[in-house]
A = this chain, B = another copy of it.
Amino acid sequence: MKPDGGSLIGFGSSGLGGATFQAFDPARGVSFEPLFSSATNEDVDRAAKLAAAAAPLWAKLSGAQRNQFLRAVADNLEAKTGDLVARAMLETGLPEARLKGEVARTCGQLRLYGETAERGDWLDARIETALPDRKPLPKPDHRSMLRPLGPVVVFGSSNFPFAYSVAGGDTASAFAAGCPVIVKAHPAHPGTSELVGRLILHAVRDCGLPEGTFSLLFDAGFSVGQALVTHPLVKAVGFTGSVKGGRALSDLASARPEPIPVYAEMGSINPVFILPGAIAERSAALVDGLHASATLGVGQFCTNPGLIALQRSAAAEELIKNLAAKLAATPEAPMLTAGIQKNFSAHTAARARQPGVKLAAHAKASGPCGAAPIWFETDAMEFLGNPALSQEIFGPSSLIVWCANGAEMLTVARQLEGSLTATLLVGTIGTELSEQAALVDLLAAKAGRLVLNGYPTGVEVSHAMVHGGPYPSTSDGGRSTSVGTRALYRWARLVCYQSFSEQLLPSELQSANPLGLLRMVNGQWTRDKVG
Binding site for B on A (CB under 8 A): 55-56, 59-60, 101, 121, 124, 126-128, 136-137, 139-140, 142-144, 147, 149-150, 235-236, 250-251, 254-255, 258-261, 418, 429-430, 433, 436-437, 440-441, 444-445, 447-454, 458, 460, 462-466, 468, 470-472, 475-481, 486, 492-501, 503-504, 518, 520, 523, 525
Contact = CB atoms under 8 A, between A and B. Distances in A.
B520 A494 contact: no
Contacts of A137: 458
A235 B494 contact: no
Nearest to A466: B496
A259 B493 contact: no
B261 A479 contact: yes
A128 B476 contact: no
22 contacts: A56-B445, A59-B444, A60-B441, A101-B136, A126-B463, A137-B458, A142-B464, A142-B465, A144-B449, A250-B254, A254-B254, A258-B470, A261-B479, A433-B503, A444-B495, A447-B495, A450-B495, A452-B497, A452-B500, A453-B499, A464-B520, A518-B525
Given A437-B504, A486-B494, 12 more contacts: A124-B486, A144-B465, A254-B255, A448-B493, A449-B495, A449-B496, A449-B498, A450-B495, A450-B497, A452-B499, A452-B501, A518-B525
A451 B476 CA distance: 32
A145 to B, nearest CB: 9
Nearest to A518: B525
A498 B126 contact: no
Nearest to A149: B477
A189 B479 CA distance: 34
Nearest to A143: B464
B501 A429 contact: yes
Nearest to A501: B429
A504 B465 CA distance: 18
Given A460-B140, A500-B452, A441 B56 contact: yes
Nearest to A119: B523
A237 to B, nearest CB: 12
Given A447-B495, A464-B520, A471 B440 contact: no
B261 A250 contact: no
Contacts of A147: 444
A259 B498 contact: no
A477 B447 contact: no
A150 B471 CA distance: 14
A261 B476 contact: yes
A477 B235 contact: yes
B121 A498 contact: no
A4 to B, nearest CB: 35
A111 to B, nearest CB: 13
B254 A500 contact: no
A518 B139 CA distance: 27
A259 to B, nearest CB: 6
Contacts of A498: 449-452, 454
Given A494-B479, A496-B450, A525-B121, A504 B142 contact: no
A498 to B, nearest CB: 4
B518 A494 contact: no
A335 to B, nearest CB: 24
A492 B479 contact: yes
A138 B531 CA distance: 46
A468 B101 CA distance: 42
Contact of A496 (B139, B430, B464, B475): B464
Contacts of A470: 258, 493
A103 to B, nearest CB: 14
B463 A429 contact: no
A478 B465 CA distance: 25
Contacts of A433: 503
A466 B494 contact: yes
A216 to B, nearest CB: 25
Contacts of A480: 494
A479 B101 CA distance: 35
A36 B520 CA distance: 46
Nearest to A424: B504
A326 to B, nearest CB: 21
Given A56-B441, A453-B499, A478 B494 contact: yes
Contacts of A144: 449, 464-466
Contacts of A139: 460, 462
A185 to B, nearest CB: 26
A436 B494 contact: no
Given A254-B254, A261-B477, A126 B504 contact: no
A471 B142 contact: no
Given A56-B445, A254-B250, A525-B525, A128 B504 contact: no
Contacts of A126: 463-464
A491 B255 CA distance: 23
A85 B501 CA distance: 39
A468 B450 CA distance: 33
